Amino acid sequence: MASAAEDRRFGPQRRVTLAAPLALDGGQQLAPVTIAYETYGRLAPARDNVVWICHALTGDQHVASVHPRTGKPGWWSRLVGEGRPIDPARHFIVCANVLGSCMGSSGPGEAAPDGAPFAMRFPVITIRDMVRAQARLADHLGIGTIAAVVGGSMGGMQVLEWAATYPDRVRAAVVIASAARHSAQNIAFHEVGRQAIMADPKWRGGDYYASADPPAAGLAVARMAAHITYLSEAGLTAKFGRRLQARDTKGFGFDADFQVESYLRHQGISFVDRFDANSYLYITRAMDYFDLAEEHGGWLANAFRRSSTRFCLVSFDTDWLYPTSESRAIVQALNAAGAAASFVELRSPFGHDAFLLDVPELNRLVDGFLRAGGL
């Protein structure tokens, strides 16, 4: 039957509601806590083959299966899947939609206890809150120790937070193209995006869910601004340069003359079909608030004291959003804390986006690191 075929194609689409409230960093209690997630592979009898994947700002739980809204392959199917470094034939793979997002987990678009969407009544959350919710999911799944927590960008922040908050539950941690705190420039770019959304009259203070007319224009501008930061200057030049879009001469108007304009507009427009504007506000806020050192008395090394987790850090040389210096700072803190850490800067022309793209060296690195840990 078509629906069964669809089910397999799209993965299991699991969702669980945890009854006990979650105490948030902001001081509020969130209840109930709903978490949407996907799993791939089978939990080994010894429960020692769990690979927990953390997704980035606009990612989701569909790490290696088709996205139900866009119909596109899972966002990390280059790294996760049959014959890949993270392989359901060997690993029990879990990926949960983060708190505050819009793919089924508790967030501003989900119903509050009064039945109406939370909208801006949803509490401001932190990366640590996201990880605490995931730990609850691990409990629910009967998972004690996780063999490896893996993530890139905001996913890497969650990996660091997992290792810092639950050191006894994390045997290995893979942090790709990430940082232990958001820089002033990163905060600035996020603030531009938030202002673009909140300046859209259709945002209506966040109460747009009943209207079927969300603040698409503002969200598209936010995505366009962010998207530039995901790419390298050299990569943009190589991909588009100053080439014109479907025309031989400049149009002397305000249509998209250049390919790079057309590409950016497409990025903005297609994003609004799959993402919620309020979720964008909440998750960027959580990223801006992230400062792992601050949570540990101002010293990043304190976050990893007595840690027996093995760490693998990866950066990309053209990533200017989370540059290599950010990964180095983490490695220095890990060294100072006496934790086991390996670090590689990979060459790639793709900027920050490289962690999602075809970088064979990244696959080899993750594969080698996991196998060295017996995975």
Task: Single out the residue of 250, 273, 298, 360 in contact with a copy of itself (rule: CB under 8 A).
Answer: 250
CA 18 to chain centre: 22
Could you confirm whether 319 is annotated as catalytic? yes
* Gap between the Cα atoms of 367 and 361, Å rounded: 10
Contact 275, 58 (CB under 8 A): yes
Verify binding: residue 183, a copy of itself, rule CB under 8 A.
yes
Verify binding: residue 26, a copy of itself, rule CB under 8 A.
yes
Verify binding: residue 192, a copy of itself, rule CB under 8 A.
yes
Contact 326, 309 (CB under 8 A): no
Q: Return the number of the residue (93 or 224) whose C-beta is nearest a copy of itself.
A: 224
Which residue do the tokens 């497409």 mark?
266
Residue 368, C-beta contacts closer than 8 angstroms, at least 6 positions apart: none
Task: Single out the residue of 1, 212, 254, 306 in contact with a copy of itself (rule: CB under 8 A).
Answer: 254
Contact 114, 126 (CB under 8 A): no
- 105, 106, 153, 315: the catalytic one is 153
The closest of 69, 125, 118 to 98, measured between CA atoms, is: 125
DSSP 297: T
Verify binding: residue 207, a copy of itself, rule CB under 8 A.
no
> Any idea what the Cα angle at residue 123 is, between residues 120 and 127, rounded to 5°?
120
**Residue 95 beta carbon to a copy of itself: minimum distance, rounded to whole angstroms:** 27
- 65, 319, 327, 348: the catalytic one is 319
* Gap between the Cα atoms of 160 and 174, Å rounded: 9
* Gap between the Cα atoms of 263 and 91, Å rounded: 37
Q: Which range of residues in 12-20, 31-39, 49-57, 280-288 is near a copy of itself by CB under 8 A? A: 280-288
Task: Single out the residue of 87, 161, 288, 295 in contact with a copy of itself (rule: CB under 8 A).
Answer: 288
The verdict on whether residue 274 carries a ligand-binding annotation is: no
Task: Single out the residue of 187, 329, 344, 357 in contact with a copy of itself (rule: CB under 8 A).
Answer: 187
The verdict on whether residue 9 carries a ligand-binding annotation is: no
**Residue 18 beta carbon to a copy of itself: minimum distance, rounded to whole angstroms:** 22
**Number of residues engaging a copy of itself in binding (CB under 8 A):** 57
Verify binding: residue 188, a copy of itself, rule CB under 8 A.
yes
* Gap between the Cα atoms of 372 and 340, Å rounded: 13
* Gap between the Cα atoms of 136 and 142, Å rounded: 10
- The footprint of a copy of itself (CB under 8 A) covers 25-27, 120, 123-124, 181-185, 187-189, 191-192, 194-196, 198-201, 217-218, 220-221, 224-225, 228, 231, 233, 236-237, 239-242, 250, 252-254, 256-258, 260-261, 264-265, 268, 281, 285, 288-289, 291, 294, 320
Residues forming the active site? 153, 319, 352
